[in-house]
Amino acid sequence: MEKTKNIQELLPGFNCRACGSRNCSEFSVKLEAGIANLGACPVLLQDRFQENKATLAEILNDYRGKKHQKPQGLIDGVQADFCLHPLLGESSCRETLACFSSAKLEEGQIIRYRPLGCPITHFGRIISINQGLLDVWVIGPCKLLGREESATNVGICMVLSFQGTIAGERPRVGQTVKFLPAHCMMGKVHSGIIVQLEDNRTRIDCIDLKVWEHCREF
């Protein structure tokens, strides 16, 4: 808890939500849990915050190094194998959705959906539509974030895959993994199977919110 307070004191305090958290305090909790990284806060790029940023990096490296900490789910305390961050230059991990709505959808459109098994309503921007499957970036609730874009309600969707960047020890292709998507509002550990791996970029299929503790360690 003390560590979280130190981290929070070094953040800009703008509570602008650009990092995907509701405020700097929530972001500090995610940093400590290892499910967010400093690069998600664009305000820290400003010259006046360079010293804070360097100190934050030291604190987090030291903290994670000492604890050999694997990220832990906030909601259930389950230990994940790694945290999944967005692909380089993107604002959130990509999700591939099976969407059952008959609404006319196109690339760039914002959809409102609830992933099967998840109690949280999601908003996503469609990146591409391929053979009936949607690739989306998860974005924050448009109204809450002050954007005027409207969202098409498509009801329940099945999240089939995630694409992102692994922060932590690299798994193997074919391995069943437990991971924390950096944008997950619940801080919930997901499970899935690694089907593509290039450097630390990965695609994880068979996404499930149920996590099996007997998954074999490689």
192-200 long-range CB contacts below 8 Å, 24 or more apart? 192/161, 192/162, 195/161, 197/170, 197/171, 197/172, 197/173, 200/165, 200/166, 200/167, 200/170
Q: 119 vs 50, 113, 127, 184, 197, CA distance in Å?
A: 38, 11, 24, 12, 30
- Structure-token pair, residue 71: 């990220």
| Residue 8 touching ligand SF4 (CB under 6 A) | no
Site string for ligand SF4, 38-77 (x = CB under 6 A): ---x-x----------------------------------
Give least dist CB 167 to ligand SF4, A: 18
DSSP helix/strand/coil, 111: strand
- The answer to whether 84 and 165 have CB atoms below 8 angstroms apart is yes
Of positions 7, 8, 10, 24, contacts ligand SF4 by CB under 6 A: 24
Of positions 7, 8, 10, 19, contacts ligand SF4 by CB under 6 A: 19
Give least dist CB 193 to ligand SF4, A: 32
| Stretch of 16-24, 96-104, 158-166, 201-209 contacting ligand SF4, by CB under 6 A | 16-24
Of positions 3, 17, 70, 112, contacts ligand SF4 by CB under 6 A: 17
| Stretch of 23-31, 56-64, 77-85, 183-191 contacting ligand SF4, by CB under 6 A | 23-31
DSSP helix/strand/coil, 1: coil
